[in-house]
């Protein structure tokens, strides 16, 4: 009898899990073998199976975890999870070990002498009460004195209900927008692209497109290392047919280039010239989809000659202040602006042969080929990152290939919940939950309705706060007196660490800024902390992630956190109740008004167990995308009194009731209830098929216009017309010189996650790649007298580091190009990374530093 691949992989996961459990009874795994996903169930020998999600990259692989005697004993892929269908990469299979590193933080720590910051010493153990009282006192004092000098830095690795709670505390409790997150440094350019173009964040397509496309274009994305399971998925599809093609556009050849049909190595920053040349070719040769443009698109021009955001005052310069301004344009104007972008011009700027660009343009234009463009940090961490996002959509718009099965631009996500928490929850200095903006009055009224705040209460936060780079720049100058970070390791991941770690005389702010870090292991960031809170990680508590395809997944609590480590939510609530002590919102006690439904401040404990607490938080959060749950919100959403510009269409991001996610592992939002069953949407804005088949039938019927060209209706976009914005090529902020002759790019490797604080504690992953290395071209190394394995000094205008050089071909660098991953905090490569950001998204450019290299 034939079995489907899904059933097969499922059987594999079950057999693995059973073997690990020592022949666990089949009953334990009953959930796995039903059509629905599994949730916790105990077996006879004390082994329990839990639903989980990998806590590393943005792919969001579902995992099945078995725990016994309080310890995780096996991790297998979850075949019911639509994102990975049972597969993991090496990091996923070793997830269990990340909890048990020898140096887990188990006690609160306090630093009494700030001059010991940056050293291994200076922290002493403290009680929770002492640490909480100290942090609350510092925060409350600074908040009362000058709340512009407090900051909170969150993460795309924070579970959804935790991000929701901390944002509510900061924005509604402290009325401060100085909250931003590390997704700013990861996805912000993609976010600004989505918002500018569609008026709604996150992609129209889904991972299933990887099984359906005829042509794949990876552009600034090393998927083989950074999204391994998705790479395997499209490679599997590619190998299944001789007609599937892959084009890889990159500045350094990577493992992703290895199996590509064509690799196009371009000069840093010239990607926009290539994209515009593709558009121009399609226009000049009349290969565009006229009706798609007529029926769906509006054209715009934007501010140009933006300069670069090197200086702290950039945002207030004329170019900085107007960076995201646009004006309507005609088709003729657009055509005229593209005209200079000939194949020859793009070739000259980029170094890519004109014939290759032409071939790719034809590939995009071929009406018989479905095409998927995939990109990540090469596009986002870019001094013109938002522009480059626009450019990719421009190409897809011209040929009408978007939001259709197998067809679409697809922004890959960096972190496990960059979408779910950072973006959907709104952990940004300008956002409220569910895409809402602090600056928009209707959005504030809507949020007040759901948070049960007096009308106008949030007008106090209508001005955005400090974005990430501004927060750290101000901190380094002594203008931030309280900084709290959680679920991240800023002291390794930020650029220009030479400045932010106080290694330069004029920037000593880190020593005077009271710094709080929630952490699981000692890191560079805890070396700079005044207080360290030890917290639960991964499946030591229950949580939720939202991945790059709008898929929401839950992970169950499978074991206890070690020692005195707490759930982050308890830490934040205990500080909140102290800081808000005696404060009022209207006539109500402020803490109780915000968190009384889940937390008893007198008992210093949650009112319910962790699952119910999460459920209550989720149901409140879910109201943002289910306005029918709140009458006041419903009226504002519908613009019932005509006070605002129009309806908000909040159901466009509809989420399901919390418990549904434990039974179903295939819920990509918007989810729709049909006859009591919750059904995902795979292709947003497309009503070319039934809701049950993954099309956005209900969304288009309720909020859009059925029957439009291509079965598409962009109902969340103003005028239902996404924006095609011409963006010109402007050269990189810096280019190699006699003094700094090499391009230097940072990024990730397969084996290590971000700053290595977790994966460097998994013995097998550390063995696989124990040291951060700088990859060089062999001829370049030879000219400098550098042999493979030599120590070198790498310097930029920002600082210098010592690191081991290699000429091995994991990264095949052309002459003049170098690459290093940033996981090794002994190297601390980001000390040399340039400090400038995209003027629109405020995301740092980590990819184009100019450096010199000498033998150490």
Check binding of 773 to other proteins (CB under 8 A).
Answer: yes
User: Which lies closer to other proteins via its Cβ, residue 8 or residue 310?
Assistant: 8
Check binding of 212 to other proteins (CB under 8 A).
Answer: no
Using alpha carbons, select from 234, 246, 218, 547 the residue that is nearest to residue 379: 218
Q: Contacts with other proteins in 215-234 (CB under 8 A)?
A: 224, 228-229, 231-233
C-alpha 281, offset from chain centre: 33
Check binding of 607 to other proteins (CB under 8 A).
Answer: no
Q: Contacts with other proteins in 728-757 (CB under 8 A)?
A: 750-751
Check binding of 23 to other proteins (CB under 8 A).
Answer: yes
Min separation Cβ 378 and other proteins, Å:
20
Instruction: Return the residue of 129, 764, 802, 854 that touches other proteins, per CB under 8 A.
Output: 764
Give residue for tokens 């000259």: 348
* Nearest-angstrom CA–CA distance, 172 and 180: 15
Check binding of 770 to other proteins (CB under 8 A).
Answer: yes
User: Which lies closer to other proteins via its Cβ, residue 703 or residue 776?
Assistant: 776
Check binding of 8 to other proteins (CB under 8 A).
Answer: yes
Min separation Cβ 210 and other proteins, Å:
11
Min separation Cβ 543 and other proteins, Å:
22
Instruction: Return the residue of 28, 53, 54, 87 that touches other proteins, per CB under 8 A.
Output: 87
Which one of 10-18, 401-409, 524-532, 591-599 is the stretch in contact with other proteins (CB under 8 A)? 10-18
What residues are paired with 410 via a beta bridge? 374
Instruction: Return the residue of 763, 779, 787, 802 that touches other proteins, per CB under 8 A.
Output: 763
Degrees to nearest 5, angle at CA 299 with 296 and 304: 150
Check binding of 808 to other proteins (CB under 8 A).
Answer: yes
Min separation Cβ 61 and other proteins, Å:
12
Residue 484: phi, psi to the nearest 5?
-120, 130
Which one of 85-93, 286-294, 697-705, 707-715 is the stretch in contact with other proteins (CB under 8 A)? 85-93
Instruction: Return the residue of 127, 454, 809, 826 that touches other proteins, per CB under 8 A.
Output: 809
Residue 442 near residue 88, CB atoms below 8 Å: no
Give residue for tokens 């403290």: 126
Both tokens of 167, joined, read 């944002």
Check binding of 669 to other proteins (CB under 8 A).
Answer: no
Both tokens of 116, joined, read 């010991």
**Measured CA distances, 754 to 316, 429, 449, 473, 765 (Å):** 32, 23, 38, 22, 13
Degrees to nearest 5, angle at CA 179 with 176 and 180: 155
User: Which lies closer to other proteins via its Cβ, residue 228 or residue 732?
Assistant: 228
Min separation Cβ 7 and other proteins, Å:
10
Check binding of 236 to other proteins (CB under 8 A).
Answer: yes
**Measured CA distances, 200 to 181, 185, 394, 714, 718 (Å):** 19, 20, 17, 10, 10
Catalytic residues: 91, 186-187, 377, 414-415
Instruction: Return the residue of 16, 190, 260, 450 that touches other proteins, per CB under 8 A.
Output: 16
User: Which lies closer to other proteins via its Cβ, residue 21 or residue 679?
Assistant: 21
Buried b (16+ CB within 10 A) or exposed e, 349-377: bbebebebbbebbebbbeeebbbbbbbbb
Secondary structure (DSSP) of 111-161:
ES-GGGTTSS--EEE--HHHHHHHHHHHHHHHHHHHGGGEEEEE-TTS-HH
* Nearest-angstrom CA–CA distance, 672 and 657: 11
User: Which lies closer to other proteins via its Cβ, residue 92 or residue 509?
Assistant: 92
Check binding of 89 to other proteins (CB under 8 A).
Answer: yes
* Nearest-angstrom CA–CA distance, 303 and 297: 20
How do 531-534 and 514-519 pair as beta strands?
Answer: parallel
Buried b (16+ CB within 10 A) or exposed e, 730-758: bebbbebeeebebbbbbbbbbbbbbbbbb
* Nearest-angstrom CA–CA distance, 344 and 351: 10
Check binding of 806 to other proteins (CB under 8 A).
Answer: yes
User: Which lies closer to other proteins via its Cβ, residue 763 or residue 815?
Assistant: 763
Min separation Cβ 43 and other proteins, Å:
14
Number of residues that bind other proteins (CB under 8 A): 60
User: Which lies closer to other proteins via its Cβ, residue 230 or residue 652?
Assistant: 230
Check binding of 94 to other proteins (CB under 8 A).
Answer: yes
Check binding of 241 to other proteins (CB under 8 A).
Answer: yes
Both tokens of 817, joined, read 């190009």
* Nearest-angstrom CA–CA distance, 426 and 436: 8
**Measured CA distances, 244 to 71, 212, 298, 361 (Å):** 44, 10, 32, 16
CA end-to-end span of the chain: 64
User: Which lies closer to other proteins via its Cβ, residue 387 or residue 775?
Assistant: 775
Q: x/- string (CB under 8 A) for other proteins, residues 576-605?
A: ------------------------------
User: Which lies closer to other proteins via its Cβ, residue 234 or residue 661?
Assistant: 234
Residue 591: phi, psi to the nearest 5?
-65, -45
User: Which lies closer to other proteins via its Cβ, residue 144 or residue 767?
Assistant: 767
Instruction: Return the residue of 51, 81, 83, 88 that touches other proteins, per CB under 8 A.
Output: 88
Check binding of 258 to other proteins (CB under 8 A).
Answer: yes
* Nearest-angstrom CA–CA distance, 101 and 92: 16
Check binding of 4 to other proteins (CB under 8 A).
Answer: yes
User: Which lies closer to other proteins via its Cβ, residue 91 or residue 467?
Assistant: 91
Which one of 236-244, 268-276, 714-722, 727-735 is the stretch in contact with other proteins (CB under 8 A)? 236-244
Using alpha carbons, select from 532, 526, 528, 517 the residue that is nearest to residue 485: 517
User: Which lies closer to other proteins via its Cβ, residue 74 or residue 723?
Assistant: 74
Min separation Cβ 751 and other proteins, Å:
5
Residue 59 near residue 227, CB atoms below 8 Å: yes
Min separation Cβ 812 and other proteins, Å:
10
Instruction: Return the residue of 100, 141, 240, 285 that touches other proteins, per CB under 8 A.
Output: 240
Instruction: Return the residue of 610, 810, 814, 856 that touches other proteins, per CB under 8 A.
Output: 810
Secondary structure (DSSP) of 690-709:
-GGGTB-HHHHHHHS-TT-G
Instruction: Return the residue of 138, 255, 445, 697 that touches other proteins, per CB under 8 A.
Output: 255
Min separation Cβ 727 and other proteins, Å:
34
Min separation Cβ 259 and other proteins, Å:
8
* Nearest-angstrom CA–CA distance, 431 and 416: 20
Min separation Cβ 792 and other proteins, Å:
14
* Nearest-angstrom CA–CA distance, 133 and 174: 17
Q: x/- string (CB under 8 A) for other proteins, residues 53-82?
A: --------------------xxxx------
* Nearest-angstrom CA–CA distance, 88 and 105: 28
Min separation Cβ 13 and other proteins, Å:
9
Q: Contacts with other proteins in 629-668 (CB under 8 A)?
A: none
Phi-psi region of 724 (alpha: psi -120 to 50; beta: other; left: phi over 0): beta
Instruction: Return the residue of 40, 503, 629, 768 that touches other proteins, per CB under 8 A.
Output: 768
How do 262-265 and 482-486 pair as beta strands?
Answer: unpaired
User: Which lies closer to other proteins via its Cβ, residue 46 or residue 789?
Assistant: 789
Residues at the interface with other proteins (CB under 8 A): 2-5, 8-9, 11-12, 15-20, 22-23, 73-76, 85, 87-90, 93-94, 96, 224, 228-229, 231-233, 235-237, 239-242, 255, 258-259, 750-751, 763-765, 767-770, 773, 788-789, 806, 808-810
């Amino acid at each position: 009898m034939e079995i489907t691949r899904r059933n097969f992989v499922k059987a594999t996961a079950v057999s693995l899990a059973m073997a690990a459990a020592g022949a666990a009874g089949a009953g334990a795994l009953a959930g796995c073998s039903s059509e629905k996903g599994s949730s916790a169930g105990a077996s006879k020998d004390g082994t329990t199976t839990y639903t989980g999600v990998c806590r590393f990259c943005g792919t969001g692989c579902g995992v099945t975890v078995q725990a016994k005697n309080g310890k995780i004993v096996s991790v297998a892929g979850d075949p019911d999870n639509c994102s990975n269908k049972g597969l993991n990469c090496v990091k996923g299979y070793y997830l269990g070990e990340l909890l048990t590193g020898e140096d887990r933080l188990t006690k609160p720590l306090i630093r009494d002498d700030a001059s010991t910051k940056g050293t291994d010493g200076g922290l002493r153990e403290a009680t929770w009460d002492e640490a909480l009282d100290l942090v609350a006192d510092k925060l409350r004092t600074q908040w009362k004195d000058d709340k512009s000098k407090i900051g909170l830095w969150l993460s795309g690795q924070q579970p959804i209900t935790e991000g929701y709670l901390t944002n509510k505390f900061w924005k509604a409790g402290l009325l401060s927008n100085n909250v931003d997150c590390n997704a700013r440094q990861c996805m912000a350019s993609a976010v600004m692209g989505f918002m500018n173009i569609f008026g709604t964040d996150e992609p129209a397509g889904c991972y299933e497109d990887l099984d359906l496309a005829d042509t794949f274009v990876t552009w600034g994305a090393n998927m083989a290392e950074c999204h391994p399971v998705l790479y395997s998925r499209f490679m599997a599809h590619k190998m299944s047919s001789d007609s599937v093609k892959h084009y890889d556009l990159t500045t350094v050849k990577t493992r992703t280039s290895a199996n590509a049909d064509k690799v196009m190595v371009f000069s840093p920053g010239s990607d926009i010239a290539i994209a515009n040349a593709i558009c121009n070719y399609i226009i000049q040769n009349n290969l565009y989809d006229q009706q798609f443009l007529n029926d769906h698109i509006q054209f715009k021009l934007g501010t140009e000659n933006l300069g670069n955001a090197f200086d702290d005052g950039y945002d207030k310069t004329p170019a900085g202040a107007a960076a995201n301004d646009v004006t309507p344009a005609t088709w003729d104007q657009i055509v005229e602006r593209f005209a200079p972008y000939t194949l020859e011009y793009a070739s000259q700027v980029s170094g890519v042969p004109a014939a290759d660009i032409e071939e790719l343009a034809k590939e995009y234009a071929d009406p018989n080929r479905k095409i998927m463009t995939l990109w990540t940090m090469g596009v986002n961490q870019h001094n013109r990152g938002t522009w480059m996002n626009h450019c990719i959509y421009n190409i897809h718009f011209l040929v009408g290939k978007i939001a259709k099965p197998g067809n679409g631009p697809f922004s890959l996500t960096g972190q496990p919940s960059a979408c779910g928490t950072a973006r959907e929850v709104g952990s940004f200095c300008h956002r409220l939950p569910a895409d809402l903006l602090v600056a928009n009055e209707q959005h504030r009224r809507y949020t007040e309705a759901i948070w049960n705040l007096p009308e106008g209460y949030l007008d106090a936060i209508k001005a955005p706060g400090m974005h990430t780079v501004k927060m750290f720049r101000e901190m380094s100058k002594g203008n931030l007196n309280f900084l709290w970070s959680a679920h991240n390791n800023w002291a390794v991941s930020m650029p220009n660490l030479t400045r932010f770690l106080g290694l330069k005389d004029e920037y000593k702010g880190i020593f005077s800024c009271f710094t709080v870090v929630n952490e699981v292991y000692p890191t560079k960031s805890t070396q700079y902390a005044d207080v360290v809170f030890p917290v639960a990680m991964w499946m030591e508590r229950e949580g939720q992630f939202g991945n790059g395809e709008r898929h929401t997944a839950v992970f169950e609590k499978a074991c206890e956190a070690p020692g005195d480590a707490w759930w982050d939510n308890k830490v934040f609530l205990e500080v909140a109740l102290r800081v808000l002590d005696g404060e009022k919102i209207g006539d109500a006690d402020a803490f109780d008004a915000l968190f009384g439904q889940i937390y008893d401040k007198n008992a210093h404990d949650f009112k319910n167990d962790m699952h119910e607490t999460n459920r209550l938080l989720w149901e409140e959060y879910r109201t943002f995308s289910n306005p029918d749950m709140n009458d006041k919100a419903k009226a504002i959403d519908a613009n019932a009194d005509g006070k605002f510009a129009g309806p908000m269409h909040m159901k466009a991001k509809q989420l399901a009731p919390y418990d549904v996610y434990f039974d179903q592992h295939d819920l990509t939002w918007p989810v729709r209830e049909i006859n009591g069953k919750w059904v995902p949407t795979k292709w947003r804005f497309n009503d070319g098929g039934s809701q049950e088949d993954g099309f956005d039938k209900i969304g288009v019927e309720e909020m859009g216009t059925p029957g439009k060209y291509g079965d598409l209706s962009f109902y969340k976009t103003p005028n239902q017309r996404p924006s095609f914005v011409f963006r010109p090529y402007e050269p990189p902020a810096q280019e190699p010189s006699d003094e700094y002759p090499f391009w230097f790019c940072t990024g990730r490797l397969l084996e290590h996650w971000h700053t290595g604080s977790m994966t460097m504690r998994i013995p097998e992953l550390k063995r696989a790649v124990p040291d951060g290395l700088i990859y060089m071209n062999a001829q370049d190394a030879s000219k400098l007298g550098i042999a493979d394995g030599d120590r070198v000094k790498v310097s930029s205008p920002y600082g210098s580091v010592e690191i081991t050089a290699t000429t091995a071909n994991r990264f095949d660098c052309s002459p003049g190009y170098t690459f290093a991953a940033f996981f090794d905090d002994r190297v601390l490569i980001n000390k040399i990374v340039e400090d400038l950001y995209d003027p629109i998204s405020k995301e740092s450019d980590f990819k184009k530093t100019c450096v010199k290299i000498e033998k150490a």
